[in-house]
Amino acid sequence: MPITQATTVEDLRQELTSLKGLNRDEARTMPPSFYTSEDFLELEKEHIFRRQWTCLGHVGEIPNPGDFYTTELVGEQLLVSRGHDGEVYVLSNVCRHRGNLVEAAESGNRRAFVCQYHAWTYDADGRLKTAPLMKDVKSFDMKGCSLPQFPTEIWNNFIFVNLDGTAEPLEEQLGGLQKVLQNYHHEERNLLFMDGGVWGTNWKNLTENFMEGYHLFATHPKTLQPMTPTQLCKKVPGEDRWTAYRAYYHPDFPPRGPFHPDMNEDDRQNSVLFNIFPSFVVAVASNYTLFLCLRPAAANKVAIRWGVCGLQTDPKDPAVVDYVNLCKAFNAEDKEKLETLQVAQNTRYLSTGPLAPDDLEGTIWDFLGYMEKMLGADQNLASL
């Protein structure tokens, strides 16, 4: 007979609250419908992705005035640009006239953004510059037709946006994480590679997968386990907005330089993997940074923008190419496992399962705690 499990939105909210009432040594997963419910995803979009800071990319994608790229977040079409004043802007990519896309290209450089529908033209900061044949329209207000600017923060060269403008300042919430990372000096690392795609799995599956070292020995026996074995993972105490663990290198693995001079011996022997809730996951190794900006595309799909940073400046440096190829290899291994996981989660014969010890899956427990604080049954979502 099928096992009774939470399936409705209210059931899942109650399950989150009940789960976080357990002691850590009783920690369990959420039921499969947590990862398959379209209705629950709509709740996440409204109460998490519209209200929290979400990472969209890296400032290295738009180094020069006029540089831009386009993306989306929970259906909002976004235009990320470098203004002629040098500032980074996240703009609505929807024309103020009839609502068409302003910029259709994925990336590039523009003196101005011209909507191809009726040629309304906007500056890199969103101000309307020209609107053909509109001067005799009495109700037309050029200053009132600028593209909306969304609140934006730059943290360690990563671009974050808050769609509804109500989130508390991000940097203040990441002080503890910054202390963990300070000797690595990620802010001095250059963007060397960017790519994107869509995987056939729920955004939470990929978030949790990235943040636990338990799967390394089984999923990555040749790519990651020889370098960062499961047995050497150590959890880092997290805070309300983030969780992390250190993946220590096997003693026989060659040193992973080049090293920043501030890094001590321990820093040189591990990678810090962290999740800034909800969906920005990063691995800061002693020599490179791998980051994934995750956005829900459907209950069973996640959109990804991912990249690699390092102290080098040449993306064609053989060492950089080798590291990017390594990332592609273990990403492919994760993608395969997560897409079969998504298929299996349609089962009616699984409720929840036990989490591994804290060093291996304690980060998942932290993530579920964040989800409970945002969407648990004791949260009055109607007042938010």
Q: What is the mean pLDDT of the chain?
A: 95
Q: Is the pLDDT of residue 4 over 70?
A: no
Query: Of 142, 155, 152, 283, which Cα lies nearest the Cα of 224?
Result: 283
* Strand locations in 94-140 (E): 107-109, 113-114, 121-122, 128-130
Structure token pair of residue 44: 């996440």
Domain ranges for the chain: 54-154, 177-374
Q: In which residue are the tokens 């090293």 written?
A: 259
Mapping DSSP to helix (H, G, I), strand (E, B) and coil, where does residue 328 land?
Answer: helix
Structure token pair of residue 297: 């595309």
Compute and round to an integer the Cα radius of gyration of the chain.
22
Partners of residue 296 on adjacent β-strands: 302
Burial of 250 (0-12, 13-18, 19+ CB in 10 A): middle
Q: Are β-strands 113-114 and 121-122 bridged in parallel, bridged antiparallel, or unpaired?
A: antiparallel
Looking at the structure, give the CATH architecture of the domain made up of residues 177-374.
Answer: Alpha-Beta Complex (3.90)
4-13, 105-114, 120-129, 264-273: which has the minimum mean pLDDT?
4-13
Please calculate the CA angle 303-305-306 and round it to the nearest 5 degrees.
130
How far apart CA 232 and CA 120 sit, in angstroms, is 57
Q: Is the pLDDT of residue 143 over 90?
A: no
Looking at the structure, give the CATH architecture of the domain made up of residues 54-154.
Answer: 3-layer Sandwich (2.102)
Domain 54-154 identical in fold to domain 177-374: no
Please calculate the CA angle 197-201-206 and round it to the nearest 5 degrees.
80
pLDDT, tens only, 59-109: 999 999 999 999 999 999 999 999 999 999 999 999 999 999 999 999 999
Burial of 184 (0-12, 13-18, 19+ CB in 10 A): buried
> How many other C-beta atoms lie within 10 A of the C-beta of residue 231?
13
Partners of residue 245 on adjacent β-strands: 235, 273
Partners of residue 55 on adjacent β-strands: 160
Whole-model pTM?
0.96
Query: Of 33, 27, 377, 368, which Cα lies nearest the Cα of 202?
Result: 33
Burial of 63 (0-12, 13-18, 19+ CB in 10 A): exposed
Q: Are β-strands 128-130 and 121-122 bridged in parallel, bridged antiparallel, or unpaired?
A: antiparallel
For residue 176, the model assigns a pLDDT of 97
- The pLDDT > 90 percentage for the chain reads 90
Structure token pair of residue 230: 């499961």
For residue 382, the model assigns a pLDDT of 74
For residue 2, the model assigns a pLDDT of 60
Residues of 335-355 as b/e, b for ≥16 C-beta within 10 angstroms? bebbbebbeebeeeeeebeeb
For residue 141, the model assigns a pLDDT of 86
CA distances from 137 to 120, 229, 237, 310, 330 (A): 15, 68, 60, 53, 58
Residue type at 11? D
Q: How far is CA 186 from the centre of its chain?
A: 17
